[in-house]
Amino acid sequence: MSTKNIEVIVPPREPHFVGDGFRVHNFIPSAYRLDMQRMDPFIMLDYNSRFYFPPSEKPKGVGVHPHRGFETVTIAYKGKVAHHDSSGGGGIIGEGDVQWMTAASGVLHKEYHEETFSQEGGEFQMVQLWVNLPAKFKMSPPKYQAIANQQMGEVELDNKNGKVEVIAGEYQGVKGPAFTFSPVSMFNVKLNQGGDASFDFPAAYNTALLVIDGEIEVNGESVVPVNHFVLFENKGEKFHIKSLAQSTVLVLSGEPLNEPIAAHGPFVMNTREELVQAFQDFQNGKFGHLED
């Protein structure tokens, strides 16, 4: 097997607010070389880098909004989020947990800082990722997966290097709990200083990583600082990371769907006609009801 080399290292873009509760750097689809077609099936990635929110009696967040045609994955590193959707899903995403919502045929959704976190204030750090659905599943019923940290697959690395938390896919024979509609791997790699780990994905899969905390070296040659995103070439299979400081790294790899993408706002379909239908269905109340 050959080495999977880096195509580009992307620094964080200027942050912007989504609602009043999420201060994010957008990597997918607005950063250099990270458009939806190139990153397929990962069609959006917002990163709320570590940020302090002062105490607030009124929880900050995002009010009711629709989704259709894809899945939203929220990974909590610091802070807590409360969320609800019109299909009956909801709950609290605590530190280390993941909320995996399949919007599919359509839901209304809202998400806010959890009440106690809001009142006390504190550091907040999250990733929200949109994973596209194959055309044949875009209009399937919505579903929801609440993945607590202790439910994730866990691989302890040799020599006290650290560990790999498996959210989706498989690492060293350990599978993650997330159900996916196409082949997707999603790992939180937590390395002690000087720790290292190797990964192996098919050459054709779109593969990337985001340095959540610390600093790493990739393939023994490229240093990647905190809050930077790495896109790998679609050549080779294996890459290696080493931590230069205690580090947390989100690793993503997925098989491209290679289907047309028609996206506008909260809807991601395959044709313009399907987008028009999504807007009509939303306006006609077919996504259900959710109080703001």
Tell me which residues of the chain have a pLDDT lower than 50.
none
**Per-residue pLDDT at 100:** 94
Tens of pLDDT, residue by residue over 71-90, are 999 999 999 999 888 877 77
Residue 92 has which token pair? 């609290």
Contact yes or no for 99/228 (Cβ under 8 A): no
**Per-residue pLDDT at 290:** 76
Burial 150-178 (b: 16+ CB within 10 A, else e): eebbbbebeeebbbbbbbbbebeeeebeb
Q: Can you tell me the distance from the alpha carbon of 4 to that of 199, in angstroms, rounded to the nearest whole number?
A: 10
Q: Can you tell me the distance from the alpha carbon of 284 to that of 119, in angstroms, rounded to the nearest whole number?
A: 37
**Per-residue pLDDT at 90:** 78
Tens of pLDDT, residue by residue over 243-283, are 999 999 999 999 999 999 999 999 999 999 999 999 999 99
- Domains in the chain and their CATH numbers? 6-254 (2.60.120.10)
Alpha-carbon torsion, ordered 178, 247, 162, 236, to 10 deg:
70
**Per-residue pLDDT at 79:** 97
**Per-residue pLDDT at 182:** 98
**Per-residue pLDDT at 243:** 98
β partners of residue 34:
none
Cα angle: 153, vertex 158, 164; to 5 degrees: 25
- For CA atoms 150, 73, 31, 133, the dihedral sign is positive
Q: Can you tell me the distance from the alpha carbon of 87 to that of 162, in angstroms, rounded to the nearest whole number?
A: 38
β partners of residue 189:
164, 249
> Closest Cα partner for 287 from 107, 116, 153, 158?
107
